[in-house]
Amino acid sequence: MGDLCRMVEVSGVPAKDRYNILKTKGINTIFSSIDMIDGIYDRAEALVTMGSDIHSLGLKWCVNLALNELYQGVISEVGTDNRMFVRKAERAGFENTHKLFTKLAAAGAAPDYVQIEVETYNRIEGLSLSFEEQTRMINACINAAKAACPGAKIILATEESTDNEKAKKWYSRFQVSGGKPFDIISLKYNVNAETFYDLSCNMSDLSRRFEADILIDISGQDDIYSADISLEDIDSAIAIVPFDRGLGTVYSDEMLAKANMVA
């Protein structure tokens, strides 16, 4: 279990010393969300510094693409006609992701993981997208990330961490709809003793069914110690995912402040 991926979600662009402190707690990957907006690649200096600082300490970097603001900008340009929106949103997602990651890669600050949250596409205000339209938009971001950073692993994150039927239905539909290959399924989980068995079953089934590594994201909680489930329990569940496909865990920075050690 010592070689599990241990990510911590940070806000903004922390000072380099903060990454060093997290490393002493057993963290090996920094997780951060980038608010994607049109033209973000022209003001990426802070992100270049962030990626460079992370890699200089021997850590990995996971970037979550927060795409809602970018898509809302598209709506403000073309309105809520699905056909026009999807065409423009595909282009905006690809162009901004590709140009940003190209700049990061040229500076030696490329992310090691790129995450897309699948629920984003059901929550775009003013639109109801078909699954095929959602898939096209996701594919555009995957294509951009892989073109600029071929070594980056693609994470598709879902909130259906304990509902296996809903989770496997989404990933199956994504593949049938022409979804691009991905490497990792991230399950956003609120730690609860009553649902922990369901989480374990979901991890095992999804890993086998889709030949993907499994990441558990508990960063939405700052304190799990009242849930009767420990960090060690989570590690153990990840470690027994079939075919060594249990990747690791995403913690919140606040949670780690209350823990002596993660490793």
CA 78 from centroid of its chain's CA atoms = 28
Whether 89 has a pLDDT exceeding 80, the answer reads: yes
Residue 82's pLDDT is what?
A: 94
Distance CA 78, CA 90 (A): 13
Domains recognised in the chain with CATH numbers: 5-257 (3.20.20.80)
pLDDT of amino acid 2: 53
Residue 228: predicted pLDDT = 81
In this prediction, residue 259 carries a pLDDT of: 61
Confidence band for 254, pLDDT divided at 50, 70 and 90: confident
Query: How far apart (Å, rounded) are the C-alpha atoms in residues 113 and 111?
Result: 6
Please compute the mean of the pLDDT values over residues 134-157 and round it to a whole number.
Answer: 98
Q: What does the pLDDT average to over 244-251? A: 96
Pair 109, 149: CB distance under 8 Å: no
Mean pLDDT, residues 21-44: 95
Per-chain mean pLDDT for the chain? 94
> Quick one: average pLDDT of 108-121?
97
The mean pLDDT value for 237-244 works out to: 94
Contacts of residue 16, defined as CB under 8 A and 6 or more positions apart, other chains included, come to 53, 56, 57
Residue 96: Cβ within 10 Å count: 22
- 54-81 mean pLDDT: 97
The DSSP string of 118-133 is GGGGG--TT----HHH
- Please tell me the least confidently modeled range out of 83-92, 99-108, 246-255: 246-255
Q: Which residues contact 101 (CB under 8 A, 6 or more apart)?
A: 110, 111, 114, 144, 145, 148, 149, 152
- Asked whether the whole model's pTM tops 0.85, one would answer yes
Query: What band does 214 get if pLDDT is binned at 50, 70 and 90?
Result: very high
Query: In this predicted structure, what is the pLDDT of residue 1?
Result: 42
- Find the range with the poorest average confidence among 36-50, 120-134, 142-156, 247-261: 247-261
